[in-house]
Amino acid sequence: MISLQTTQLRLREFEPRDLATVLKLHQHRLLAQFIPSAITPDEAAAKRHLQRFMSGHEDPRHGYWLIERRDRGGTTEPVGMILVKPIPPSGGAAPSETEIGWRVMERHGGNGYMSEAARAVITALFAAGLDEVVAVTHPDNVASQAVAKRAGMREIGLSTAYYDTQTLLFRASSSDVAR
């Protein structure tokens, strides 16, 4: 995994000290509404999430990044996370595509941090040789859809291709960026 910096943000690997952040991040009310399986009701569940976030991946471009807002004084504050992983196709076939996703701390939603981080990660993925990345959102999750669009992803439309459910599909390809 690569660490990244943007104008306002630092993206880094998760560390054991991030347990309280993982717990708080996974108690966001919109996460409960749109991805109920990601809710972390207690510290034990947060530890399981954190262990997964810190684990290695077959593809070095895959992983989980903690997003921190940097201030002029050099201090940082967690604002969310970005994930890049194989996306499970509906029907149980082996994953063949890469998904980007994001989760924001409730108090930091609407500040553009997720879009800025997603753009940086997509750019880094293309520079590392990935040709395409997809994102899926719940059809009613307008905030997440706005992040995908601001990150430069194209809206493809409703799809049942992933997670055995209907989602709104977004796609970005390196050929789009090269034009």
Average pLDDT estimate for 146-159: 96
Q: Please enumerate in sequence order all residues whose Cβ is within 8 A of that of 82, keeping only pairs 6 or more positions apart, or say none.
A: 11, 64, 65, 67, 100, 101, 102, 114, 117, 118, 121
Average pLDDT estimate for 36-46: 78
Print burial letters for 128-163: b (CB count within 10 Å at least 16), e (below 16): eebeebbbbbbeebeebbebbeebebeeeeebebbe
Return the structure tokens found at 27: 């108690």
CA 40 → CA 13, 24, 85, 156, 158, distances in Å? 20, 8, 20, 31, 28
Angle among Cα 78, 163, 165 to the nearest 5 degrees reads: 110
Q: Residue 128 pLDDT > 60, yes or no? A: yes
Q: What's the pTM value of the predicted model, to 2 decimals?
A: 0.90
Q: Which residue has the higher pLDDT, 17 or 36?
A: 17
- What does the pLDDT read at residue 36? 63
- What does the pLDDT read at residue 179? 41
pLDDT band at 119 (very low <50, low <70, confident <90, very high): very high
- What does the pLDDT read at residue 132? 96
Average pLDDT estimate for 50-77: 87
Best mean pLDDT range from 7-11, 34-38, 70-74? 7-11
Q: What is the percentage of the chain residues whose pLDDT exceeds 90? A: 64
The average confidence (pLDDT) of the chain is: 89
- What does the pLDDT read at residue 109? 85
- What does the pLDDT read at residue 176? 78
pLDDT band at 71 (very low <50, low <70, confident <90, very high): confident
